[in-house]
Structure formats: structure tokens, C-alpha cells
A and B are shown apart, each in its own frame.
Chain A
Amino acid sequence: MTKFNDFKARMIDYILNENLKLTLFSIILGLLSGAVILAIAGFNPIEAYRLMIVGMLGSPRGIAWTIVQSTPLILTGLSVAFAFRTGLFNIGVEGQFIIGALATTLAGYFLRLPAIIHIPVALLIGMIAAGLWASFAGYLKAKFGVHEVIATIMLNWIALYLNNYALEFNAFRRPSSESSHRIQETASIAITWLRDIVGPAVKVNWGIVIALVIAIIVHYILFNTTLGFQLRAVGYNRDASEYGGINVNRNIIVSMGIAGMLSGAAGAVHVMGVSRQVSVLAAMEGFGFNGIAVSLIGNNSPIGVVFSAILFGGINYGGRNMQNIGVPTEIINIVIGSIIFYIASYKLLQIILRKASRKSGKGGNLHVK
């Protein structure tokens, strides 16, 4: 019983945590900013947001789509968050995602295996390929001092053209199409019976389970292992870590590698659960940049990332419903951008919150440095 009370106290502590309060406040302000822009553009914001929420949560179909949309975002968000925690800015999620998706499609199409082996093998191949891809950027940083931001930006584009190059081969490209052959049924993680219920167009899949398991593993690695401690120490203060006997260069490579594996898992899950193929890319699809947003809204913590990915996936899917009254879908990016802007300007929020709590005479526990 005491154990339960202890747990309850910790949960309440967590919920009332200042960071979380500021994040929620940022989300509200972001939605308000979106409302102002909607009003200026001549739309009824209340009606627009009502449509969004109905789109997200109004039907089993909407909920299913929200989950499907948030699955890769959980993983790309984790990738960015993991790198951030270790002092690296992984702007290369996009390319790692592409490599993961490509490798998984190759494994999913060319290998002939029973499902119980095929699925984990295809997933692992995607993760490992993307992990190696990303750790190359880590290697360039560790060995030659090449800034990871430049290296990963370049690798993003190289990945995009590599994907398109792979689709030049007849063995891989589906005839008279811009796409590869579809992966074998044995590599699919679709939940067929659920698709029968919510509609075959909704690509319900086991990816969400994979993503949640990986989120737990990442949380464990970061906060319960020596490796995680070392990685965070390097992120917190590189010089002190070096002095403390941590091999900083090795940690940079390992950290980028793990971040890449997470992005690769996003690509793999996307292929095995939703797209079943890769296609010729004309431009970046934005998985990486959305991952950065998810990570930031989730305060770079694995648990936060899960919630923020679901929020992001929901707004993204539900937001399209606003088109019913003619609202351009770009309003979604404006709302997301505003939320991130307010999160960045946390000091502004602290001031507002403090004034508010003073006014109500509660004398809040928020303090401005």
C-alpha cells in the first residue's frame, strides 16, 4: 500500500511538474495563435477546431488513423531526443528514415522467410542500415571534427538519391511504376482483422506496439545503464566527461548510431505497416523535421515523446478535416510552429504564469531566475 501511495505521489509530482505545465500552456497558446490566424483569414476558429477534434477522436477510424500517423513520429522523435540528450543535433533523421525504409523493403521483398523470422529480420536490417548510416556522421565528427549538422544534411540528400538510384534497377522496381515491388506478406505487420473493422483504407498495424517497446528500451538505456549515463554526461559537459575518463569520441559514434537505428526503425515500421514499398522521392517527406518538433514538444524525454507524437499525429490527421470549411491544411504547421515557439520562449510563459498565480493570490512555486 505504501508502495502504491509512493507511486501516486510520484505521478502527481510528475503531472504538476513545471515543464509539463509550461508545455501544456504552450499547446494552448499555440492553438490560440492558430485561432487568431484563422479568424483573420475569415474562418470560424471554433468550427475549425471542432472539425479537427471530430476528425481525431470522433470515430474509431479517426482514432485508428491518429495512432497509425503517430507511430513513425514516436520513433523519429525518440531519435532526435536521444541525440539531443547526448549533446548532438540529429538533423539527419530524414535520411536515416529513407535508408531504414529502403533496407527494410529490400529485405522484405527479396528474402523468403516465415513471418515470425521475416518481420524481426526486416526490422533489424532497416535499423542496422540506418544506424551505420548515422554513425558515419558520428565518425566524421569524432575523427575529423566535421559538424554533425552539416554531415547529416549532406547525408540526407545522398540518402534521397540513393533511394532513387536503387529504384533504377529492374529487379527492384515494379514495372511501369515509380515504386519498388511490394514486400512479401510475411514481412507485413498489418493487423488484418482490425482493418476489417475500421475499414481497409486505415493502415492499422502492430507498429505502435513496436514503437512503445522501443520507447521503453530507450528510456531504460538512457536512465538505467552505464552507457546511458556516459552518453548523457557527454551531452551535459563534454570536457568534464573527457576528464572523468569517458571516451567522448566513441560515445559520439555510438550515440549517432543508436539515434540512426531509431530513425531506421521508423522507416522500417512505416514500410512494413503502411506503405509496403518505397517510391521515387522528389523531395524530403518531412518525417525528420516532424521528429524534431515531436522531440521538442516532448521535452526530449522518451515518455514525453510518446505523448507529443500522438498529439502531433492527431492534429495532423484531424486537422485535415478542417478542409471541409475550406481551411488550408497548412494551418496545422502554423499551430505546431507556434507551439514550438512558445516552448522555446518558456521565459515568457514563466512570467505570464507567475503574474497569473500572483493575481489569484496563490503565490505559485514558479520562480524566474
Chain B
Amino acid sequence: MLNNIALIISITLMYSTPLIYAALGGVISEKSGVVNIGLEGMMTIGAFAGAATGALTGNPWLAFLVAGLSGGIFGLLHAIASVTFHANQVVSGIAINFLAPGLALFISRRIFNGATMTPLIPLENKMPLPFSNIFRSLHNQGRFGNVFARNSIVDLIFNQYVTVYIAFILVAILWFLLYKTKFGLRIRAVGEHPKAADTLGVNVYGLRYFCVIASGVLAGLGGASLSLAIVSTFRATLVSGQGFIALAAVIFGKWKPQGALAACLLFGLATGLRIYLGGSAVGLDVSQNLLSMLPYVITLVVLVGFVGKAVAPASVGLPYEKSDK
């Protein structure tokens, strides 16, 4: 039983991770007043850039970095449109969702002989499992019995890809940044009341640029956490909708990093339950298709039952014009 719970937790962590990165991206962008529907596209380009760099260079950290950068470039595009040219942010985000995956597949076909799938990255070139060696050596010393054995509870829960730990650390960093620093106060002020912030000498445009680019970087890393850790390749259907689920997690989590984390974990948990219940261990005689609905149904039920009306940052979605002062 405990092992089963550990298995579910393990799957939960795995499936939540890409969502957490992208949702944090959504949080920081929306906190500054810019809606980012383009998360999906930014995840896709990140997943591609990561997998392609990983396959070509064999260096996962370089690949992770390039993924973040490529997401950031599309963040910059979104910022140019929505901050400088006062674009409708939803429209600009949708443009990103056409451009980024389009470009990812276009480049993929050019580099990899017409294929929309990158070559597989060998296991040793994927993102590392940082605690794996410690666990193995502890187990081999034999002093702890089977506590650190492969597929033991400790191993299942704590022996994760490094991207999982980074995601959790980023949640803490973003929380600290937003709520414990002057910089974060300014970001929130810009999202709530840009005019007042401007009057007090806060650089509204600059902060929004920073946040939207950061959101692209985070979404790009989220994509790479899929293509460099969970699987070891990029394919056209890899991201399929996770950017939108991350967006839902932002709203679900009430525009807070810790809330978004909880929402992503819930979604991952529902996926974990689906895989567990459908797996051979339980052998529940229910259609896989019905089980697959579970995460989405649970999200809706929780939204209706437990979450009150969410309040967005007051100026989210509204372009700011300096001359309005």
C-alpha cells in the first residue's frame, strides 16, 4: 500500500513539474499586468530547443539554458507587442501560439531531415537524477536495509530528475521575490495600479518587459523539463495543451506562486491516480478513456466546490499608456 502511495506521489511530481515552470511564468507575467496565453507556444519552442540542443551537443545543462533563452525570445516578442504597442494581450499570445510551434517544427524539419521528432537523447545525457548515486551507494553499503533500494518508497519519492527540485526552488524564489522584496512590490503595483506606480517613479514598461520575458524563460524551461527529463526527445504532440493547463493553474491558484504550485500538484495527482487506477496493480475494470477524464473533472469539481471567486490583478490585460497620466 505504502509503495503504491509512493508511486502515485512519484508520478504526481513528474507530471506536475512542467506545469509548475509554466504556471510560475504565468504568475509573474500576470502579476505585472500582462496576460500570457502564449505559454503553450513558449513551452513548445523550449521543449524543441532543449531537445535539439541536447541531441546535438549532449550537454543537458546547455540544452536547458538554450530552452529558457528560446522561450525568453518569444516572451520578448509578446512584450514588444503588448507593452510597447499596446496590443490586445490575448491576441498577441495567440499569435505566439501559432509562431512558436510553427517555428519549432519548421526548424526541426530543416535540421533533422524532414522529421518533426528530434533524435533520442541517450540516457546519460538527459537531465541528471542528482540523488541517484547517493541512494545507490547507501543501499550498497547495506546499512539501511532496503530503505534506499530501487523502487523503495524513499527512492520513488525522492529520487527525481533535477528539474523537479529546481521547480520547487523556483516557487520559493518567486514567492520571496514577489512578497518579500521591494522589486516584487513594484511588480505587483504595476499589475494592480500602473498609473500610481508610474507616478511614484516606477518604470512600468521596464518591469513589464522583465516579467513577460521571465515568463517566457520559465515556460521554455517547463518545455525542456518535458523533453530533457520525462522523455528524451521532442515530438509535435509533446506539449499538447499543457501550456493551457498551466494557464488554468495560474487562475486556479489565484495568481500566487504557492497557489499555482498547489494547482499543478493537484493536476499531477489526478494524473497519478489515473495511471495508478488504470495500471495492472489495481486492474480497475473501468475504461481508460473514462479514467483519462479524471484530472479534468477533478479540476472542475474543485473549482466549483472549494475555490471561491478568484480575483485577478486589477490591471491584468490592460495596456498602459504613459500619456494617460
Interface of A toward B, CB cutoff 8 Å? 37, 41, 89, 91, 140, 144-147, 149-151, 153-158, 161-162, 164-165, 168, 282-284, 289, 292-293, 296, 328, 330-334, 336-338, 340-341, 343-348, 369
Contacts and interface: CB of A to CB of B under 8 A. Distances in A.
B105 A330 contact: yes
A296 B93 CA distance: 12
B102 A334 contact: yes
Given A289-B97, A292-B94, 9 more contacts: A146-B300, A328-B114, A338-B99, A340-B92, A343-B91, A344-B87, A345-B85, A346-B87, A348-B85
A157 B110 contact: no
Contacts of A140: 300, 303-304
B231 interface: no
Contacts of A347: 85-87
B81 A345 contact: yes
Contacts of A150: 247-248, 251-252, 299, 303
B99 A328 contact: no
Interface residues of B, number: 51
A337 B292 contact: no
B102 A333 contact: yes
Interface string B192-216: 0000000000000000000000000
A119 to B, nearest CB: 30
A328 B241 contact: no
Interface of B is mostly: helix
Contacts of A293: 94, 98
B96 interface: yes
Contacts of B310: 145, 147
B297 A331 contact: no
A146 B251 CA distance: 9
A168 B289 contact: yes
B90 interface: yes
A153 B245 contact: yes
Interface string B95-109: 111111111011001
Contact of B77 (A168, A292, A341): A341
B293 A344 contact: no
A146 B300 CA distance: 9
**4 closest A-B pairs (Cβ-Cβ)?**
A337-B98, A333-B102, A337-B99, A344-B87
Contacts of B86: 347
A162 B293 contact: yes
A44 to B, nearest CB: 15
A82 to B, nearest CB: 16
A165 B81 CA distance: 42
A328 B113 CA distance: 11
Contact of A333 (B98, B296, B299): B98
Contacts of A165: 287, 289-290
Nearest to B114: A328
Interface of B: 77, 80-82, 85-88, 90-92, 94-103, 105-106, 109-110, 114, 237, 240-241, 244-245, 247-248, 251-252, 287, 289-290, 292-293, 295-297, 299-300, 303-304, 308-310, 321
A340 B91 contact: yes
A333 B290 contact: no
A235 to B, nearest CB: 14
B293 A296 contact: no
Contacts of A147: 251, 310
Contact of A344 (B88, B102, B304): B88
A328 B95 contact: no
Contacts of A328: 105-106, 109-110, 114
Nearest to A84: B90
Given A144-B304, A158-B297, A331-B102, A344 B91 contact: yes
A302 to B, nearest CB: 18
Nearest to B323: A369
A157 B91 contact: no
19 contacts: A41-B110, A91-B244, A140-B300, A151-B300, A151-B303, A158-B297, A282-B237, A328-B106, A328-B109, A330-B103, A330-B109, A331-B106, A333-B98, A334-B106, A338-B95, A341-B96, A345-B81, A345-B85, A346-B85
B105 A161 contact: no
A201 to B, nearest CB: 24
B238 to A, nearest CB: 10
Contacts of A338: 95, 99
Contacts of B248: 149-150, 153-154
Contacts of B289: 161-162, 164-165, 168
A340 B300 contact: no
B314 to A, nearest CB: 14
B96 A168 contact: no
Contacts of A334: 98-99, 102-103, 106
